[in-house]
Amino acid sequence: MEYIQITVETLFGFAALFVMTKVLGKSQITQITAFDFISALVLGELVGNALYDPDVGILDIGFAIILWSVLIYTTEMITEKFKGSRQLLEGSPSLVIYQGKIDREQLKKNKLDINQLQHLLRSKDVFSIRDVQYAVLETDGTISVLKNSHSQNVSRSDLNLPPLPVPLPRTIISDGEVIWDNLKEAGLDEKWLHHQLKAQDYETPEEVLYAEFQDGDQTLFVIGL
């Protein structure tokens, strides 16, 4: 009976947290601010401790999750309605590089050293601080970079060339399974797919790790298992 109770409470906790995440929105997942981090820790502790406490039942878990969800939702409403509260509850972006110069005060304020700054820059494909004109440390811990004019890529508009259409690649096969919806959206059918696979020495989709089609291409891009 103890294992059955743990199973039921685990499933309930999982479902409740999933519903809460859906209600609060994707920002709770993609934009982890300091407040969101605390929320995740508390919710994890609430559910985790309740699972192995024999005196705590499903109603207790549900009440705790609902109460904390209301607090999070109320905080989100406050930050949405009252702009002055955003800096306190969510923080504010910091300009760590300004006009090519590192702002040491901002680094110190955000507990960021030069090695961590370089790591964040490399995550944006910037391997030299000399290439950066401005860098903003966002509230979720990521960095946004604006390169200086010497390091920026040349665009078609810089060369006065007409714009070209940008096709959207579609995944047709993933881990041996055909994504039929994507195949249909691309205006293709099963016969075309088998023809493309056979032309590249594949008999069935199960032999393919990944296949992609892009508008304007004549053939299917295939990676075998």
* Residue 30 in this model has a pLDDT that exceeds 60: no
Which range of residues forms the domain containing residue 220?
A: 170-224
Q: What confidence tier does 14 reach under pLDDT thresholds 50, 70, 90?
A: low
Question: 20 and 51: one domain?
Answer: yes
Give the domain CATH number at 187.
3.30.240.20
CA distances from 172 to 59, 167, 184, 207, 209 (A): 45, 15, 10, 13, 10
* Residue 58 in this model has a pLDDT that exceeds 50: yes
Q: What confidence tier does 3 reach under pLDDT thresholds 50, 70, 90?
A: low
Domain count, the chain: 3
Token pair of 189, please? 């059918």
* Residue 34 in this model has a pLDDT that exceeds 70: no
Q: Average pLDDT of 91-111?
A: 87
Tell me which residue of 182, 209, 212 sits closest to 196, measured CA to CA: 212
Question: 115 and 182: one domain?
Answer: no
Question: 131 and 66: one domain?
Answer: no
